[in-house]
Amino acid sequence: MNTYRSLRESDGPAYDALRGEMKREEEGLELIASENTVSEAVLDALGSVFTNKYSEGYPGNRYYGGQDFTDVIETLAIDRVKRLFGAEHANVQPLSGASANLAAYAATLSPGDTVLGMDLSHGGHLTHGHPVTLPAKVFRFVRYKTEADGTIDYDKLEALAKKEKPKLMLAGFSSYTRQLDYERFASIAKKVGAISMMDMAHIAGMIAGKALPSPVPFFDIVTATTHKTLRGPRGGLILCKEAYAKAIDKAVFPGVQGGPHMHMILAKAVAFGEALRPEFRRYAKQVLVNAKALEKEFLKLGYEIVFGKTENHMLLIDTVKSRNVTGKEAQAWLDLAGISLNKNVLPDDPRGPLDPSGIRVGVPAVTTRGMKVPEMRTIARLIDAALRSGGDEKTLSGIRRQVKMLCKTFPIYR
């Protein structure tokens, strides 16, 4: 592992914060569903001299000189991600999932056009048209919701699409645990003359690893982040049918972004290469097994699982109903116990986003460090002990010691 000698010698406070974060990650349980830990090869790529280079444009067609090697790495990233997902076209320049989604809107919509997207409290993402975002001020977002059993009623969705006549129909989520019917969703979009788009940010790695079905054959445009289950650097990407390729590329640059971050593109190429290896399929499968094991243990302990069950890498738990603990309390107490996760709004949550009724628990990062079913049982019991603690600091620091011991057996970086 890098010892960061130059940083230590040149900037003490920055180095100390970095050491602190390294220790926090090694000694704690990371259960934020959108996080993961990258390989040392990805870290090497992120810390490389490609951060020095400006490369507006695309391979073979850039605005500045000196592009011999930027063209090599961007082409490598594009070829690998197309192979990984069987996509017709890929753009690897989006700096994040939010900018990937913004570019997809810019490529397909005019101001005032209607978009159907999933409601935030039902699992959708802020960038899917939440009123506080810029796209929601420019386009007209209509939100659809899940049913009481956690599923999506596609007949209802079709009726809504016929009524609202969207230009774009957006599937995908950031806090939803059930499998979508991609074929049905895309066929509804086709029926009403809408462009179909899927934001697969959360489950991109599960799809790459063949643990979950792929939306890519069905949707016109698919966006993703590269740092969640896909286990790459922070960033975004867009896949699309050839018919949308030019519009997507123009929308990313110069539409919504300037120079791409080439160090990040190198790291994406490395991560896509890793995801093409057989080990990654084993990882993706283990993530599903671990999520089910965690769910089973929580059910045994009497917890209320939101959306009925999990079919991916995360669980939503109603902590208010299960233990009379709010999401905010749960997150704070678990932080003291060395367990990171996030408070989360639940469908039509009466409590609001700052202190909602539940938590979201994800297993991608703990699976990366090698934890399996027995550790999932332990994790559920440690979380339960923290939620039963009433916030008592002594109890929580006792749990923290157990967390640290567990983590020691599963080092992230050697």
For the annotated catalytic residues, the residue numbers are 54, 56, 199, 225, 228, 234
What are the structure tokens assigned to 309, written together?
């069950």
As measured in angstroms, the least distance from the Cβ of 283 to ligand DSN is: 19
Phi, psi values for residue 125, rounded to 5°: -105, 155
- DSSP label of 29: E
> Residue 262 and residue 73: Cα distance in Å, rounded?
8
As measured in angstroms, the least distance from the Cβ of 353 to ligand DSN is: 13
**Interaction mask 376-405, ligand DSN, x per CB under 6 A:** ------------------------------
Nearest to residue 152, comparing CAs of 117, 203, 126?
117
Judged by beta carbon, residue 125 or residue 369, the one nearer ligand DSN is: 125
As measured in angstroms, the least distance from the Cβ of 174 to ligand DSN is: 4
What are the structure tokens assigned to 233, written together?
């650097």
Judged by beta carbon, residue 55 or residue 368, the one nearer ligand DSN is: 368
> Residue 280 and residue 230: Cα distance in Å, rounded?
9
Name the strands in the sheet holding 221-225, side by side, starting at the edge strand that comes first in the sequence. 89-91, 236-240, 221-225, 195-199, 168-172, 114-118, 140-144
Q: Which residues pair with 91 in a beta bridge?
A: 238
# residues near ligand DSN by CB under 6 A: 4
> Residue 174 and residue 365: Cα distance in Å, rounded?
16
Closest residue to ligand DSN, based on beta-carbon distance: 34
Where does 194-282 show beta strands of DSSP type E? 195-199, 221-225, 236-240
Per CB under 6 A, the list member of 70, 91, 108, 174 interacting with ligand DSN is 174
As measured in angstroms, the least distance from the Cβ of 158 to ligand DSN is: 27
For the chain, the residue count is: 414
As measured in angstroms, the least distance from the Cβ of 407 to ligand DSN is: 22
Contacts of 178 (CB under 8 A, 6+ apart): 146, 150, 151, 152, 307, 308, 309, 310, 311, 312
Structure-derived torsion over alpha carbons of residues 29, 35, 40, 45, reported in degrees to the nearest 10 = -160
What are the structure tokens assigned to 204, written together?
């991109």
Does position 97 bind ligand DSN by CB under 6 A? yes
What are the structure tokens assigned to 384, written together?
């339960």
Judged by beta carbon, residue 34 or residue 310, the one nearer ligand DSN is: 34
What are the structure tokens assigned to 76, written together?
């490598």
Judged by beta carbon, residue 166 or residue 236, the one nearer ligand DSN is: 236
Does position 177 bind ligand DSN by CB under 6 A? no
Judged by beta carbon, residue 57 or residue 327, the one nearer ligand DSN is: 327
> Residue 130 and residue 124: Cα distance in Å, rounded?
9
> Residue 2 and residue 44: Cα distance in Å, rounded?
9
Per CB under 6 A, the list member of 28, 29, 34, 182 interacting with ligand DSN is 34
As measured in angstroms, the least distance from the Cβ of 319 to ligand DSN is: 18
Q: Which amino acid is present at 147?
A: E
Q: Which of residues 106-145 bind ligand DSN (CB under 6 A)?
A: 125
Does position 331 bind ligand DSN by CB under 6 A? no
Judged by beta carbon, residue 199 or residue 297, the one nearer ligand DSN is: 199
Q: Which residues bind ligand DSN (CB under 6 A)?
A: 34, 97, 125, 174
